[in-house]
Structure 1
Amino acid sequence: MVLEFVRTDIGLIVPHIGGKLAFPLVNYLIHQSKTPIKRGGTRELQTLENIYSYMKIWFDYCSDLGLGYEMVTYEVHLEAFHSSLKNRGLKSGSYNNYYRAWRNFYEWCDSEGIPHLMRFPAKHTIGNRSYVGYGNGSKFVSFEKVEVDPGLESTSSVSDYKEKILNHEDFEALSEELNKQDPVFKHIAYMMVTTGLRVGGVIQIPVGANALNPKWLRYPDLQKKGVNFQKLVYIPKGRKRKLECLVLTEALGVLHNNYITQDRPKRADLFRKKKGSHGLVPLWLNVNGKKVYLCDIWAAFRAASKVLGRHITPHFLRHTYASYIVYYYFKANGFSPNLAYTHDIHEQLRIQLGHCDVETTKKYIRTVISVKMETWLPLLTPYVQQVVDTHLPEQVLAGVTRFFEPHVDS
């Protein structure tokens, strides 16, 4: 029988087979939800759901073979399944996600003394990787071993986020599809693309003052004060510490006028009827007055992706925000996109986005450079472009502007 699940009120997945809890997978998922990750804190609900999905693929395969998870082997069964998935066109990155989940599960079984026949190939240490971080007002460098797992497929490294950003037209199409499902998802997407917050951060935006943000002002109060932004304090991915980011008054104005005063009142009434009149009502509520969880947002993006014919995740909006910030930074300063400005841009982006790796900032700069290069190349290719003259830079600028600013005459 195949693996199934039920979901708790807070979105946690409980796997079962034929109505009976699927042990030891249940214990493994509990372990994953409670165990701190490398960067500190615990895993988000979506990460746990992904782990479950990968384990379901493996458990269902074992079931099709008529074998238990503890009876299969690497050489006979996992390698055969790998070949089957590859023949069906599974991408290397996706397979590697599956493989890591399966290996982690069996290694956990080893740590718990749970018997099985699976033996994965040994990993090889090839060196150390350094990370630059910031904490308690100071900069620090940490190191970790770099290991190669022979069971993983080779993948090409991505140097930019060109395929993971949305131009204005793309974002409008996404918003339309999210709106068809429930306007709340459209507004969540809007706040993500105007703040750069991860989905776990944007879901923490409050209606008014709360414990984390005791001085949080609603849009009418911000308007009276004439301020352009206020700082949001939130708990980032990993739940290790508190971070701050700027939320623009103009963005809160759009949210206030189109959601808080329009859709939300009826939803809040439904929420109170279900939960009682006591306690704070969450900002994000669906049409039935139910609190919106991370898994709901991811599901909405998956549904929109199917309609649009392009795989789009909530994280695309974070990449979009950062790439546009970099683009406008260069434009405002009259600079040509160049990695030489990485330090200046990184110091600004790391605070708003809450990331420490300078390599991520370089990818955003390369994204802008990539857009520019895609405009240059058709104009420079020999035997295709007849005339290369002094007006070429203007044509390139126009092409880049059309991508980032389609409504601006170039």
Structure 2
Amino acid sequence: DTFVLWGSNMAEMHPVLWARVIDRKLSNPDRVKLVVLSTFAHRSTDLADISIIFKPQTDLLIQNYILREIVYNHPEAIDWDFVKNYCAFSTGYVDIGYGMRGNPEHPRYTEKEKEIMRKELVKVISEEEAPALRYLNLKPGDKLYMKHRKQAGKHWVISFEEFKKALEPYTLDYVARVSKGDPDESLEEFKKKLKALADLYIEKDRKVVSFWTMGFNQHTRGTWVNEQNYAIHLLLGKQAKPGNGAFSLTGQPSACGTAREVGTFSHRLPADMVVFNPKHREISERIWKIPHGTINPKVGANIIQIMRDLEDGKIKWAWVMVCNPWQDCANANHWIKAAREMDNFIVVSDSYPGISAKVADLILPAAMIYEKWGAYGNSERRTQHWRQQVTPVGEAMPDEWHIIEFSKFFKLKECWKEWKLRDGTVLPDVLEEAKRMGYDRSFLDD
């Protein structure tokens, strides 16, 4: 009955699902409502019943206002059977930094960049932030030292009363004053919109789906905004039921097809298994039919760490596929400069001469989605195959072809011998087990 878009521009970015949303809305316009929250107006706001333009980073305040409205003013809306059977209230540290370098005085950064990076260690509390941090006895002008940067993922269980107390500062007056993003809109009009949004979530027999995409997931506080969106749905019992749910729109070929199912994230293995779990590594080695002990137990570098390691000279060689990191990473100009100036060799497989290709030492022309066979992950977590539709242009070939042809330059004896890594990790020699498994001896022996 209600679609809430948190920062997502579905009309342009997810047009197929958007068409279904609009079809549903137009089929019953008096009942079905569309709310779009964004930092600016775009095509998705054109058909919205309520368009909420908020100040960047304040969506978390709006979520906490909705939760406060439920807990303080509409406690009868809480689905206690659902909450008691399936949920727990929890919290974590607030002084966790922002994932930036721990050394804000890094020599390759400008003074302006260092000004931002110092907030990784300590920040001064503003007038707008202070009411929400009153529970830590912080006042405007006080310093918040980021003492738990290494424990950002730590959570612990709290009571409902503690949860309720934490929501107390997020009144309509406070949240509206801080989060209003359109200077031409009156504060009273903005308040009415926030109240209407909360009422749509709270209405007992109204089914609600919340959509969001990378604006949320790559948010400065991406974990928090995800948690709070789920919290709204879970508290109301409007989750995991037909017509109700919090829905992250992340169904794209490289995001789902290769990262989640296949396991190409630095910390992941196939089917949502993880690198640091020995049992998961063992299962993955059986799936891939490779010797036990082949998979490195140490989690590899994520994309930002790779950028930092290139800048620091720790990585000398990188191969980029199905992404454009020197365009879409935060502070992209900094990383472009580092990639060009440092002694490294960068390979980019791409279909177009994008920004990443401009920092490359070698460009490999890559076939696009309909120029090859493949599979991708849908938003609802279904893997779908497609057939090649057209012939690739020029010398372009699929990424798989690039990888397979490159692999022919090596023998297994060069890869599966004992390796001693920089951090002291020793990867064992697995050649004898490979022989027992039936691997071709011509690739294993001298």
Same topology, TM > 0.5: no
| Larger RCO, structure (CA 8 Å, separation 6 or more) | 1
- Which structure has more helix as a fraction of its residues? 1
